[in-house]
């Protein structure tokens, strides 16, 4: 398995180097391709930022609001009272034995 990972890693490095060289050639040495690459690069950047912004908006719109702090405090107090009641009841039963 590690050999396969090394092979995949080497392939990815080679592909990225070739794509970078083609990008540089198109951008600086071929004017028609350069215009297309600039437009494509700007589009991908803007689409990526807008996608992240949309995802944040979707998350905010679909996440329910948190409980009010007062409600959480009441629940904690009720649980503490239950626990104290159980503890007191178990102590009384052990004393009776």
Q: Please report, for the chain, the start and end positions of each structural domain, with discontinuous segments joined by +.
A: 1-63, 67-97
d(CA 61, CA 53): 12
CA distances from 94 to 8, 84, 97 (A): 67, 15, 5
What length does the chain have? 97
Residue 91 pLDDT: 54
Tokens of 23: 């990008």
Tokens of 25: 């050639």
The pLDDT tens digits of the residues spanning 2-32 come to 899 999 999 999 999 999 999 999 999 999 8
Residue 89 pLDDT: 59
Residue 37 pLDDT: 94
pTM, to two decimals: 0.56
Residue 92 pLDDT: 54
């Amino acid at each position: 398995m590690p050999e396969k990972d090394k092979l995949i890693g080497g392939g990815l490095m080679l592909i990225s180097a070739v794509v970078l060289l083609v990008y540089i050639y198109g951008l600086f040495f071929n004017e028609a391709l350069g215009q297309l690459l600039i437009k494509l690069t700007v589009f991908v950047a803007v689409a990526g930022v807008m996608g992240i912004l949309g995802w944040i908006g979707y998350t905010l719109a679909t996440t329910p609001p948190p409980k009010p702090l007062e409600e959480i405090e009441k629940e904690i107090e009720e649980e503490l009272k239950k626990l104290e009641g159980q503890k007191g009841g178990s102590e009384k039963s052990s004393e009776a034995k």
